[in-house]
Structure 1
């Protein structure tokens, strides 16, 4: 090629780049003008806020809506309402898409759907997490059934990716109708307080079909969805949402064939403080976070679904730099009792950890399952069985610590040896029994208590019988004698014992019988 030809080619390239930058800059400026007054970022700003600086590589940037292809240059809208591509977060590869609400309301059309499917296929083929930033008016009415078809296609793709690569949804605006089901299939969902909405049918449809008057916030705001268990984290703003996603990704492997990332070891609070954390009175509550803060690195737990079933804590932490999943009863809320919401919350978390090779630490202080007609009619038998199933199915390293009470079905389901736990420890303060001493005495010694009531000595007799029951049954040593507890340890030894157990279990391999899939209770 001659020098003149080379200069001509370079000039044409420069002219094309200039025109592209001008068009992109103008479109971005229009988007900022629409989004910023609402306290929202644009599709590309959101991507840039999440990923490492300069790492985003956009795909499908010049894709056009199907009926835009014959339009003039000035009439064309590139991208079709969604920004897709790949980037790095803390140096690790992710694939992502971000709805552009300023283009057709971020509604799903054919070209839009094809772009998202391609980036999800890329995530699956390369084995990296996929993140969806949702801000969409839903199906694109002008494209009819095509839009609905792509919602179903996306749900099928998410189902295929489930348990293969981590999937995270960030709801930054509206998400309604068929659009809500794809986030529901993903592993983690984040909403932004005040600006995001998620519901199957909006307030207008509810009003016209049922007559119920309800606002968008009441129906599908972040608080309503968090209480229903649909959301794993409610962010104060978009920046907070992306900060949480980055923290979450730091705990997760890229895919189901890899181990979670490891970090330099960090210290926890002084272990000796654990020796005094359990109150002397069995009727006094204590905060399970006080236990976890003295076991996990830097005392940090990245909690998920904190607004739903607060009697059960689930989240990610690190022990000696290695990611662990934590499931724990919270005595500060309903004494840590297990109900329907707690069962389902913990079951899904356990299954996620098992799918992505995250060891499970369980801290049990549980009086059992919540009794009552409301729970029975709500399906506690079927829905409570999910947690039993999840622990039984999990093949990752499973270690359990009983800190105080472990009664009845609560003992069995909270990571007991009988559900496949690899190592089980108990503190000397623990009580492992069918039920609490007071309830057991009332059932076992009715006649004796009745006689004592007649002669006025019932309180003295009851106290004596309760103490005898505790000495014989409500302690960890009976379970240890039968091999259900591997060791009774001082609380201050907990971090060291967990670390030693995890090191032994690093090479654990367990494979169940071949089958197409399980039929767990749903």
Structure 2
């Protein structure tokens, strides 16, 4: 019998497998499994590593818990006989699919392999993704897609397009049922970018990830524009300009860490609650459990209503352990959205940012917030609105580009949401923006305001110019000090209407509280709203103003 270390054996004998015996059948299986683990040569793997990237399989193993990955369809291979493809049939066909766990929680996953046919999608490749999508939907598990491919496999023709369509439809069927997360780990082009766009969260890696429908060469030919791949579809482009991206990772491991963190806030599906950490009910009244960070909120708001402050300072002080997972942090920075926990319960935060456009809502901020509100509502995550908004951003650019229709998306998203909804007005809440940002009559369950809140149709300056226009005009004709009169009238308006107490008297806010009590008050409201029951009129679906 020849030892496995005996190099004197005949080469032919080493590779001869008698598939008519049980031992031979097992040996054949082992050989095929080894081939599936190494679909390309070591040289191709070294090229991937030289770019600072991991291989498709290494990415799965880096993301999932150790030894938890179970592969599906490892022995699948394409059936095409055109253009010489019949002579190149690697096992797996360029995509790895299966399931495993992240922090002990089940997930389904696929990872595209750019070293096999450039990661292009063919019939079997597409069928494998469809199969794992359907498994995720059927079992109620989150689906994670690691994308690194160059579009349709041209040699396989229309069948590739058909499989793209099936993948897109499954993305749509899974939407709102299971969390879908896309990681872009290379250059994704053509049909490869639509599936990620249909998922809940998209993550890219700085400098090594790109997404675009048509590449720089085609754009140069058609329009004459010169643009690099990074300028056209890099991570910062999709974060700051297109709004497609939810997180820019500094490297592949950072992307995996962010996804693991994200999943800790999400339920496996829409029929279950998000994961919760035990938090003992604090004894006594809210004021008996104030921390130093709580008390810092009492001095956070500047005396001048026009002086900005960073809303992140509020957010981190009301969340457990100061932990806030911001989403789309580089896009529409006049509004802040992300996940945190209060008393161990996951919550979604939507907050105006006074340091950007004074916190005004614009087209991009409205769409960003609307998307996030709907995501929270899909997955049973309570929504906390932190409000300091002087209105919608004025300007012809906003009007011409559809601020009416696109701003209404946030109204629609918030109005249809049935999860617990809590609003905290920290300072300004003016006009239509007051309505949009979680007002009582838009269906908010619990509204509270700080003493610094200014709730009115408009600010004092605009209101005085409108209400006292005739009086100011007459004063000017009589030679009186119009500026002094204007300041006097503004002060009277502010003292009368620009405060939280008029709204409190009429029930538009449920309580005016010291800022330091915010965390405790929200915690009690969340406990109350755990048993919230919402009834909506029966319908096929609404018609959001897209």
Task: Give unpaired runs (5+ residues) of structure 1.
Answer: 1-7
Aligned partners of 1:173, 1:20: CA distance in 2, in Å? 26
Per the alignment, residue 429 of structure 2 pairs with 406
Q: Does 78-87 or 217-226 show the bigger shift?
A: 217-226
Preserved contact between residue 80 and residue 86 of structure 2 (Cα < 8 Å)? no
Secondary structure at the aligned position of 1:455 is classed as coil
Preserved contact between residue 33 and residue 75 of structure 2 (Cα < 8 Å)? no
Per the alignment, residue 4 of structure 1 pairs with none
Closer/same/farther in 2, CA of residues 22 and 443 from structure 1, 3 Å limit: closer
Per the alignment, residue 17 of structure 2 pairs with none
- For residue 81 of structure 1, the aligned residue among 94, 108, 112 is 94
Preserved contact between residue 40 and residue 115 of structure 2 (Cα < 8 Å)? no
Preserved contact between residue 206 and residue 250 of structure 2 (Cα < 8 Å)? yes
Secondary structure at the aligned position of 2:330 is classed as coil
Q: Does 1:481 align with 2:505?
A: yes
Per the alignment, residue 492 of structure 1 pairs with 516
Per the alignment, residue 317 of structure 1 pairs with 340
Aligned partners of 1:172, 1:490: CA distance in 2, in Å? 47
Preserved contact between residue 268 and residue 295 of structure 1 (Cα < 8 Å)? no
Aligned partners of 2:255, 2:435: CA distance in 1, in Å? 36
Query: By how many angstroms is 1:443 displaced?
Result: 1.5
Q: Which TM-score applies when normalising by structure 2?
A: 0.91
Closer/same/farther in 2, CA of residues 350 and 224 from structure 1, 3 Å limit: same
Per the alignment, residue 208 of structure 2 pairs with 195
5 Å-filtered alignment, 1:56-135, equals 56-67=69-80, 76-135=89-148
Aligned partners of 1:268, 1:253: CA distance in 2, in Å? 30
Preserved contact between residue 35 and residue 91 of structure 2 (Cα < 8 Å)? no
Secondary structure at the aligned position of 1:46 is classed as helix
Number of residue-to-residue matches in the alignment: 514
Q: Does 259-268 or 510-519 show the bigger shift?
A: 259-268
Secondary structure at the aligned position of 1:118 is classed as helix
- For residue 230 of structure 1, the aligned residue among 244, 251, 265 is 244
Query: By how many angstroms is 1:175 displaced?
Result: 1.1
Q: Which TM-score applies when normalising by structure 1?
A: 0.95
Per the alignment, residue 458 of structure 1 pairs with 482
Per the alignment, residue 140 of structure 1 pairs with 153
Show structure 1 runs of 4+ deviating over 4 A.
71-75, 266-269, 451-454
Q: Does 1:415 align with 2:438?
A: yes
Q: Does 414-423 or 206-215 show the bigger shift?
A: 206-215
Q: Does 148-157 or 265-274 show the bigger shift?
A: 265-274
Cα deviation digits, residues 268-293 of structure 1 (max 9, x gap): 86200000000011110000000011
Q: Does 71-80 or 442-451 show the bigger shift?
A: 71-80
Closer/same/farther in 2, CA of residues 11 and 63 from structure 1, 3 Å limit: closer
Per the alignment, residue 494 of structure 2 pairs with 470
Aligned partners of 2:405, 2:363: CA distance in 1, in Å? 9
Aligned partners of 2:392, 2:177: CA distance in 1, in Å? 33
- For residue 338 of structure 1, the aligned residue among 338, 361, 370 is 361
Closer/same/farther in 2, CA of residues 295 and 171 from structure 1, 3 Å limit: same
Closer/same/farther in 2, CA of residues 23 and 289 from structure 1, 3 Å limit: closer
Q: Does 1:308 align with 2:331?
A: yes
Aligned partners of 2:75, 2:35: CA distance in 1, in Å? 14
Per the alignment, residue 296 of structure 2 pairs with 273
Aligned partners of 2:42, 2:264: CA distance in 1, in Å? 33
Task: Give unpaired runs (5+ residues) of structure 2.
Answer: 1-20, 281-289
Aligned partners of 2:29, 2:538: CA distance in 1, in Å? 57
Query: By how many angstroms is 1:77 displaced?
Result: 0.5
Q: Does 208-217 or 480-489 show the bigger shift?
A: 208-217
Aligned partners of 1:183, 1:203: CA distance in 2, in Å? 21
Per the alignment, residue 207 of structure 1 pairs with 220
Query: By how many angstroms is 1:446 displaced?
Result: 2.2
- Cα RMSD between the aligned structures? 2.0
Query: By how many angstroms is 1:26 displaced?
Result: 7.0
Query: By how many angstroms is 1:135 displaced?
Result: 0.3
Per the alignment, residue 165 of structure 2 pairs with 152
Per the alignment, residue 375 of structure 1 pairs with 398
Secondary structure at the aligned position of 1:260 is classed as coil
Query: By how many angstroms is 1:74 displaced?
Result: 9.3
Closer/same/farther in 2, CA of residues 344 and 116 from structure 1, 3 Å limit: same
5 Å-filtered alignment, 1:19-58, equals 20-21=33-34, 24-25=37-38, 27=40, 29-58=42-71
Secondary structure at the aligned position of 2:296 is classed as helix
Query: By how many angstroms is 1:458 displaced?
Result: 2.7
Secondary structure at the aligned position of 2:350 is classed as strand
Preserved contact between residue 39 and residue 116 of structure 2 (Cα < 8 Å)? no
- For residue 194 of structure 2, the aligned residue among 168, 171, 181 is 181
Preserved contact between residue 269 and residue 295 of structure 1 (Cα < 8 Å)? no
Cα deviation digits, residues 65-120 of structure 1 (max 9, x gap): 11379x99995400000000001000000001000000000000000000000000
Secondary structure at the aligned position of 1:358 is classed as coil
Per the alignment, residue 355 of structure 1 pairs with 378
Query: By how many angstroms is 1:10 displaced?
Result: 5.3
Aligned partners of 1:303, 1:180: CA distance in 2, in Å? 23
Secondary structure at the aligned position of 2:230 is classed as helix
Query: By how many angstroms is 1:462 displaced?
Result: 2.0
